[in-house]
A = this chain, B = another copy of it.
Amino acid sequence: MRERRCDVAVIGAGLSGLRAALTLHEAKRSVIVVEARERVGGRAHTVRLDDGTAIDLGGQWVGPTQREIHATLCELGIATYAMYDAGANVLLRRGRLHRYQGSIPRGVGIFALASVGLSMLRLDRMAKGVPLEAPWQAARAAELDALSLGAWADRHVGLQAARDLLRVAGLAVWGCELDELSLLHALFYIHAAGGLDALISSRGGAQQDLIAGGAQGVAEAMAARLDADTLELGQPVRRIRQDDDGVLVESDALSVRAARAIVALPPTLAGRIDYAPALPPRRDQLTQRMPHGAIIKCFAVYARPFWRQHGLSGHAALPDSPPLAVTFDASPPGDGAGVLLGFIGGRDARAWAARDPETRRAAVIEAFARVFGAEARTPRHYVDHDWTSEPFTRGCPVGLFAPGALSAVGEALRAPCGRIHWAGTETATVWNGYFDGAIQAGQRAAREVGARLDAS
């Protein structure tokens, strides 16, 4: 058992943990980051194909109002580029293709469109009433939390076609069925993003820009600014002990003694660590109640982005054609390869996670072909990634609250437990669930710990 000492032990080398570590490092605190995987980045995971094309298997976009991640990108000198969005989007519904512009598909009929628009307005208006620091203190919090977003939609969204589009949005945003999600949590999440349109939009929204070289580069660049021996990779943390003198963070082979710890893991993973003494009841009940959604990201790489020549943006919505729910153009910048990205989410992701890779590949490519034409049938490369299988994430994109949980145990989300502090995008109050939230949460945790260290 190797033993080390520092001021602050950070558990998890995702964007949130690394941001916390870097901020503390800049404040001259000694930090050790203990990470389960052999790589940094967490849910930011970039692989390179043989031809050098960077593929973001995990989170990938940044958007215009995401100030925290933009400040970090700027500091690190990392560029972004606009995702291709010229041309028409496509809706595939009841076997027919419909072209449309903007974030809400036509082809569902004018009444369904109006219904979707009205629902979005309603959700946005309700969302503004949910306090970002304490959603559980919203007016009528218990009442909003008692309903799932799906039950709300059943009641307030008249047309099935409109509800189907909301489901597709939910699959892409949360990786879950609308019935799994608390209305209160959905409203908080919408408010934290600045509105539903910001969540689901490409241009002007959360899917506007891609990160040059891939999102994992952000983590790598932060890690490179830390002292050489800061990072401890391949060390899944098993136990965190604390007493009046400090904390002891233990993996199987490493023991780190520190004044304080920042756990920058999704709550459902943080809850698997053995804490001594045991954490307070509300905190444990929280980590029992914040499961991940399920997403499989699927990429087909072509010599060129051929769909652009047909006047298509690469963005499509497929409300009734599983496995895919939505697609995007995730091509690298410039004139090189074209990359189609498809999302399988929620119950489809759980079903397709269990099927063999070849069957999945065939179904996804067939879906691309139905939307973008026969050329889609012959990709140079295909790769997909099932986040529910990742031992150190076990779902994606983000921890969620089912009905009844946020108002019951939400208070425990950020409340430090003695010398243990909580980061991770799930604890963010802006752009919760996104890189931006991860960075904000890391900064906040670093400030929280810094102030305690200064005071002691």
Contacts and interface: CB of A to CB of B under 8 A. Distances in A.
Copies of this polypeptide in the complex: 2
A154 to B, nearest CB: 7
A387 to B, nearest CB: 9
Interface string A116-127: 000000000000
Contact of A347 (B268, B281, B288, B408): B408
A187 interface: no
Contact of A147 (B151, B272, B391): B151
Nearest to A387: B281
Given A181-B404, A402-B404, 17 more contacts: A146-B154, A176-B404, A180-B402, A180-B408, A238-B274, A272-B272, A272-B274, A278-B391, A281-B386, A281-B389, A281-B395, A285-B395, A288-B292, A289-B291, A346-B408, A347-B408, A350-B408
Contacts of A282: 350, 353-354, 388
Interface in A398-419: 402-405, 408-409
A234 interface: no
Interface of A: 142, 145-148, 150-151, 154, 176-177, 179-181, 236, 238, 268, 271-272, 274, 278, 280-282, 284-285, 288-292, 294, 346-347, 350, 353-354, 386, 388-389, 391, 394-395, 402-405, 408-409
Contact of A404 (B148, B238, B272, B395): B148
Nearest to A394: B284
Contacts of A389: 278, 280-281
Given A147-B151, A179-B142, A271-B272, A285 B350 contact: yes
